[in-house]
Amino acid sequence: MAEFAYNNKIHSSTKVSLFEANNSWSLRMEFELRKKREFEGVKKFAKKMKEMQNEAKAVLIKMQEEMRRYINKKRREAVEYKVEDLVLFSTRELK
């Protein structure tokens, strides 16, 4: 990059760059900024992807609810113990 910058610099004595002096033409450093354009195909693709994401999200939520319902059918309320309640305690797993 430094070599390019040095060879493309216009020198005060020759009034041309080294590249232009050696090759009889100069490098062009200019560029045009691209204008902001909206492409219809991109908009359609983005819209389709958003719809697919929404559909997938809806299906996942529906399946989550079905799983929750299935699991909760077999569950029962947890027993709440109070202080001084009598309980059975197994020592089989204790060492």
Reported as half-sphere exposure (CB side, CA atoms, 13 A), residue 37 has a value of 6
pLDDT digits over 54-75, tens only?
Answer: 999 999 999 999 999 998 888 8
Query: Please, are residues 40 and 31 in contact by the beta-carbon 8 Å criterion?
Result: no
Q: What is the pLDDT at residue 29?
A: 65
φ, ψ for residue 10, nearest 5 deg? -80, 125
pTM: 0.42
Q: Enumerate the domain spans of the chain.
A: 1-31, 39-73
Is the per-residue pLDDT at 25 higher than 90? no
Is the per-residue pLDDT at 80 higher than 80? yes
